[in-house]
Amino acid sequence: MRKTNFVSNSDRILLNSVAYGSAADPTQTCSLSSDVYDPSGCDYVPEWVVRAGPRAEVYFDPEEVHAAVVTCGGLCPGINDVIRSLVNTLEVGYGVKKISGVRYGFKGFFSGDEFMPLNRKVVRNIHNIGGSALGSGRGGGDVEKIVESIVNNGINMVFVIGGNGTHAGANAISNECAKRGVKVSVVGVPKTIDNDILLLDKTFGFDTAVEEAQKAIQAAAIEAQSAYRGVGVVKLMGRQSGFIAMFATLANGQVDCCLIPEISWAAHGPNGVVEYVRNMLDAQGHAVVVLAEGAGQEFVSAGGTDAGGNPKLGDIGQWFCKQLKAEIKCDVKYIDPTYMVRGCVANAHDSIMCTVLGQNAVHGAFAGFTGISVGSVSAHTAFLPIPRMIERERLVDPDGRMWHRTLASTGQPDFF
């Protein structure tokens, strides 16, 4: 390994970087904010997390490492950048020769699909395409079978790229290995364009998704402005968390109404969104509405869960457009760019973030950590305990300043 600045295991990063923060501050040691943000009324946040980086002492002999990489859940811009960074760091940084790519999510450990041999040559250009070079997927979180595969294939490092569900799986795999006395480092890299992981500054791919969403909102605004009583409606991803919708709205600045899962709203009645759109049409001749896909699910959800156990969503965008058409004289243009915001190549910012995360995940595994994930905290890269990160989804704080900024931009009232 090249000469480098090693990080000590006692190096720490301060999680709560604001002194005397208000109750709505998400990094409060004991947050007493809204019901949505903190149902228990007291949200414990540890003071420090461990600083990521290479250690002077490593736990594994590179000659004996068999590393596996798996990508689970929905796609996200930058997955391939992370895979590339993991492989480059394993091979060039530490001299690991055996790296296996697990196909189509957790089930690839036991589905009978051959592992994909990974090396620097194979991953050289994968970051130039979106998606996952390994294939991703939901389901297959059978911890017993996964651990059997780990043991049978002599795997001793597992890099798991995925969101909340995937991390729950990674933690369960780590625990099961420990229970069986199998020496394996299981390290997560948080992947979710929903940006719904606690404690992190931001997840990779989120910035790219917000940027991609601009095209849809811009088109909706143009269509709305060019039509007689035109309404542009855009539905963006965000199952339980409205971060993409909120940030895309704020960045665009032409949106009249943003609806997110964290905040309930009435469609009908004098304070409902339909009436608000009617008023916007009367006043300015057009309106632009951005909805997160998880917003207003009480109107459209048919229940049920997907292969990963996530709630299946009804199409709130279609439903909302139908309400508009039924109740007011308007020309509705509906844009649903759902998969377009995640099936793309990461922008430069996300690409660099992915490289840093992948590299540090390998450092974490070589340092002998397991059941950890790696993420950006207060602008530093940290190793974090998985259970604390996935206690629940990170949500937009309805009392927070970012949402208030969004409301100031749209000018929308409360819809109830």
Ligand X SMILES: O=P(O)(O)OC[C@H]1O[C@](O)(COP(=O)(O)O)[C@@H](O)[C@@H]1O
Question: Which residues are identified as catalytic?
Answer: 194
- For 127, residues 6+ apart whose C-beta sits below 8 A from its C-beta are 80, 81, 84, 345, 346, 351, 354
Beta strands in 57-97 (DSSP E): 66-71
The pair phi, psi for residue 9, each rounded to 5°, is -65, -15
Interface residue with Mg ion among 108, 163, 294, 337 (CB under 5 A) is 163
Determine contact, residues 198/299, Cβ cutoff 8 Å.
no
137 binds ligand X (CB under 6 A): no
Which residue's Cβ has the minimum distance to ligand X? 73
The pair phi, psi for residue 39, each rounded to 5°, is -60, -30
Report the length, in residues, of the chain: 416
Q: Please, which residue, 72 or 217, has the CB nearer to ligand ADP?
A: 72
Contact of residue 141 among ligand X, ligand ADP, Mg ion, none (CB under 5-8 Å per partner type): ligand ADP
Q: Please, which residue, 7 or 69, has the CB nearer to ligand X?
A: 69
Which range, of 157-165, 168-176, 352-360, 405-413, touches Mg ion by CB under 5 A?
157-165
Q: Please, which residue, 13 or 82, has the CB nearer to ligand ADP?
A: 82
Which residue's Cβ has the minimum distance to Mg ion? 163
Interface residue with ligand X among 11, 306, 327, 331 (CB under 6 A) is 306
Determine contact, residues 382/189, Cβ cutoff 8 Å.
no
237 binds ligand X (CB under 6 A): yes
What are the helix (H) ranges across 189-272? 206-226, 243-252
Contact of residue 127 among Mg ion, ligand ADP, ligand X, none (CB under 5-8 Å per partner type): none
- The distance of closest approach from Cβ of residue 183 to Mg ion in the complex, given in angstroms and rounded to an integer, is 29
Q: Sheet of 372-377: strands edge to edge?
A: 12-14, 48-51, 380-385, 372-377, 185-190, 157-162, 66-71, 98-102, 116-117
Interface residue with Mg ion among 28, 71, 80, 164 (CB under 5 A) is 164
SS3 helix, strand, coil % of the chain, rounded to 5?
35, 20, 45
Q: Please, which residue, 53 or 296, has the CB nearer to ligand X?
A: 296
List interacting residues with ligand X (CB under 6 A).
73-74, 163, 192-194, 237-239, 293, 306, 342
